[in-house]
Structure 1
Amino acid sequence: MKQAFLKFEHWTTGFSMLVACLMLVIASTLGMFQIVTRFVLEQPAEWSEILIRLSLIWMVFMGIPMAFRQGAMVSVDVLYRWSPPKMRRLLDWLVCLAALALVAVIIWWGWDYSLRGRVQSMAGLESISMFWGYVAMPVGGMFCVIGLIGNLMDPQRNELETAQ
């Protein structure tokens, strides 16, 4: 069961990171496009700015699960180094539960915000609902939950081990 979940977690976290990288590529490409249209052609593309913002939002919320999986988001390095092994496991659980509580709030209110924003349209892209921008919070949050549980089951502390 543990191995099956960790395999699933590895796939989902890798997928979320792939999406985050893709969003970075889209944002940087659109940024260059916006520079060319604004300063070279003197015909700014108004729609590119909102798409850059949208892709950066998705990039952040889809990249956070990898940070959680690597144990890099909520760091208690000093306490971890000074603690005996049983206390370290307790710290793992406390950090995981605190992060899960925060992510649960993000998922809950992110979904509520998404539903409320679906009647709005994006400035410059009137045909696209704001729902697609706001839904990044609950979607990224769900991937975070999987990464947090994966980190609890199989903690990774590469940066902590090299610092000693």
Structure 2
Amino acid sequence: MRIRSIILEKLLNFLMALSIGLMSIFVFGNVILRYVFNSGLTWSEELARFLFVWMTFLGAIGALKDNKHLGVDLLLRKLPPNLYKLIYVIGQIVILFLLLIILHGSWKMTLLNVNNYSPAIGLPLSSIFLVGIVMSVCMWAIVIYRTYCVWFKKEQSNEIGKSTEFEVFVKQRGNKK
């Protein structure tokens, strides 16, 4: 399981790096072509926009995996462990519900745009909306796994849902005393 997680993490990071690299090359190349040669590539801006959309959604998956999404847990940390677990699980259920809404909307938009094509490169627009499906399914897997760990695995329940910055802050304050 751990090896699969590492491979998927490396694949996700590679796809995001590839997206930003290609975006930079296309946009920079188009700027050079426009200002130096007085012509440009009609498809480069559109492809850069599509890569940006995919990179953003893939980055959301990576942020959830690394627990880097913005969250305020100041009050939650003061709760007893069992109540903390319960509220954490309720929050994860709300997240699952919202991901289900995104999945449903992305599925409808993907099917709706199967026969529509982008004007410059002719790529089916459904490939753009497909990223919502990919993101929802991947995030569902992460949230389900974390919820399972918090609810059933005692040794991992203290690690999930806590930001590393807070842990560093607590350790630093503990060392000063």
Query: Scaled by the length of structure 1, what TM-score is found?
Result: 0.85
Amino acid of the structure 2 residue aligned with 1:144: M
Aligned twin of 2:21: 25
The unaligned stretches of length 5 or more in structure 1 are none
Query: What is the deviation of 1:137?
Result: 0.8
Amino acid of the structure 2 residue aligned with 1:16: L
Aligned twin of 2:137: 142
**Which segment is superposed worse, 31-40 or 66-75?**
66-75
Aligned twin of 1:161: 167
**Which segment is superposed worse, 141-150 or 101-110?**
141-150
Query: What is the deviation of 1:10?
Result: 4.7
Amino acid of the structure 2 residue aligned with 1:98: V
Partner-residue secondary structure (3-state), 2:71: coil
The unaligned stretches of length 5 or more in structure 2 are 150-155, 171-177
- Per-residue CA deviation, residues 57-110 of structure 1 (Å, 9 max, x unaligned), is 110111111211222325132122222222221232122111111111111110
CA contact (8 A) 1:9 1:146 kept: no
Amino acid of the structure 1 residue aligned with 2:142: G
Amino acid of the structure 2 residue aligned with 1:117: N
Query: What is the deviation of 1:141?
Result: 1.5
Q: Alpha carbons of 1:116 and 1:124: their partners in 2 closer, same or farther (altered >3 Å)?
A: same
Determine which structure has more spread, i.e. the larger CA radius of gyration: 2
**Which segment is superposed worse, 101-110 or 66-75?**
66-75
User: Higher strand share goes to which structure?
Assistant: 1
The structure, 1 or 2, with the larger RCO (C-alpha pairs under 8 Å, 6+ apart) is 1
Aligned residues: 159
Q: Alpha carbons of 1:139 and 1:94: their partners in 2 closer, same or farther (altered >3 Å)?
A: same
Amino acid of the structure 2 residue aligned with 1:118: V
CA distance in 2, matches of 1:118, 1:42: 35
For residues 68-87 of structure 1, the aligned pairs below 5 Å read 68-73=64-69, 75-87=71-83
For residues 14-163 of structure 1, the aligned pairs below 5 Å read 14-73=10-69, 75-126=71-122, 128-152=123-147, 153=149, 154=156, 155=160, 157-163=163-169
Q: Calculate percent identity across the aligned residue pairs.
A: 19
Partner-residue secondary structure (3-state), 1:121: coil
CA distance in 1, matches of 2:113, 2:73: 39
